[in-house]
Amino acid sequence: MVTAKQTLKQCPVFSALSSVELEKVASQALEKEYEAGAAIFQEGDRAEELLVLEDGKVALQMTLPRTEPEISRRITVDIVTRNEVVGWSAVVEPHIYTLTAICLQKVKVLSINGTKLRRLLQDNPGTGYEVLKGLIQVVTLRLHDTRHVLVSERLPFLKPE
């Protein structure tokens, strides 16, 4: 059975932390499960937890403005898999989820209370620096992938006839 500390160690955001620091973060964590199709959180909800995926796949969706009545359109902007984090807004102000998280399959997560995590990071600046550094690296990689996809999807329209 994988412990919370082991899960955090495998997560890029927390992997640089020392054993003691991991222990402090793991002590705030709670394991949760969601079934396929369930929404872990909705866009616009208060961001109260940061989640690390232990198993499963989660789609992050953005709600588009309604162009037709009764049909709410959402577009998937990211897919989160094992050992990745969901719900950064719990750490970053204004602490409101900017996307909706939908489970594509049964999902097991490690849920870390946002308020307690922020207090831990504030009280331990070294830990805070490492966690934010890890978060920036994840964001950079996703931005790179997003740009790659944008360019690839636009390229056919720019090719000469």
Partner 1 sequence: MQKQSMRVIVASEYPEVQHFFRDVVEDEGGTVISEQVKNAARALALTRKYRPDVAIIDSCLPHVVGLDTVLLSRTGGLDVAQTISNEMPNMKVILVNNPETETSSDYGLNPDVATTLSMERMGLDTPFTLKELCYEVGQPNALVFANVQAKPGASLRQKVASLSGTDVLFGSLVTLGGLSLVFALAAAGAWLLLALAGAAAIGAGIGLLWNRIKPQKGRRRVS
Number of residues near partner 1 (by CB under 8 A): 29
* Contact pick of 24, 32, 82, 106 for partner 1 (by CB under 8 A): 106
Nearer to partner 1, 22 or 80 (CB): 80
24 binds partner 1 (CB under 8 A): no
69 binds partner 1 (CB under 8 A): no
* Contact pick of 36, 96, 136, 139 for partner 1 (by CB under 8 A): 36
Other Cβ atoms closer than 10 A to 99? 22
Please measure the distance between the N-terminal and C-terminal CA atoms of the chain and give it in whole angstroms.
58
Apex 42 CA angle, 85 and 74, nearest 5: 100
74 binds partner 1 (CB under 8 A): yes
Nearer to partner 1, 24 or 74 (CB): 74
Q: Strands, DSSP E only, in 48-106?
A: 49-55, 58-63, 74-80, 85-86, 100-103
* Contact pick of 3, 6, 46, 73 for partner 1 (by CB under 8 A): 73
User: Residue type for 3, please?
Assistant: T
Minimum gap (Å) between residue 104 Cβ and partner 1 = 5
User: Residue type for 5, please?
Assistant: K
